[in-house]
């Protein structure tokens, strides 16, 4: 395996971990909210993130690597924080605030990978395709947070 592929595999595996964390965060948020609309929204986002993971893992395999299949310790810590925060304030606003904060983190991770000039072409394409969904979800959660705050 050449150095460019190895670098790209590592970058994509980082996105896999981050996206798995995000999927799990959405799953937890779906369970924690009492609002049926948010339950559905968050569950759909969790499923979408799992599909992104599958696509990124396929590209890692295509490049000759072994895809990650687990999230990060940081992601687990964020989910614990989300659960602890909800024990104090279990409002939909609190849940949406945490989801939106997580989305900021995910979006930044993708943007950092996309800015990497050493990324192999097919890896960049896979990351860019995934980023379109990540960015749309980020913007949706940002807008939802603002709407709840204004209400």
The residue ranges of every structural domain in the chain are 3-150
pLDDT tens digit sequence for 5-57: 999 999 999 999 999 989 988 998 888 888 999 999 999 999 999 999 999 99
* Residue 64 zone, left/alpha/beta (φ > 0; ψ -120 to 50; rest): left
Residues in the chain, total: 151
| Rounded distance between C-alpha atoms, residue 141 and residue 29, angstroms | 12
What are the percentages of helix, strand and coil residues in the chain, rounded to 5?
A: 85, 0, 15
Dihedral sign from CA coordinates of 71, 72, 73, 74? negative
Q: What are phi and psi of 137, to 5 degrees?
A: -65, -40
pTM of the prediction?
Answer: 0.87
pLDDT tens digit sequence for 116-150: 999 999 999 999 999 999 999 999 999 999 998 89
| Rounded distance between C-alpha atoms, residue 22 and residue 16, angstroms | 10
Output the CATH code of domain 3-150: 1.20.1260.10
């Amino acid at each position: 395996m050449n150095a460019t592929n190895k670098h790209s595999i590592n970058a994509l595996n980082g996105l896999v971990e981050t996206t798995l964390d995000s999927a799990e965060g959405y799953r937890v948020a779906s369970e924690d909210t009492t609002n049926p609309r948010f339950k559905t929204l968050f569950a759909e986002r969790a499923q979408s993130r799992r599909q992104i993971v599958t696509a990124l893992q396929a590209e890692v395999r295509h490049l000759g690597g072994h895809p990650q299949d687990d999230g990060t310790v940081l992601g687990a810590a964020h989910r614990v924080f989300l659960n602890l925060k909800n024990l104090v304030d279990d409002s939909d606003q609190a849940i949406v605030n945490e989801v939106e904060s997580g989305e900021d983190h995910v979006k930044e991770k993708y943007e950092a990978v996309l800015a990497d000039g050493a990324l192999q072409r097919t890896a960049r394409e896979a990351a860019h395709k995934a980023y379109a969904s990540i960015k749309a979800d980020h913007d949706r959660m940002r807008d939802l947070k603002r709407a709840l705050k204004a209400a």
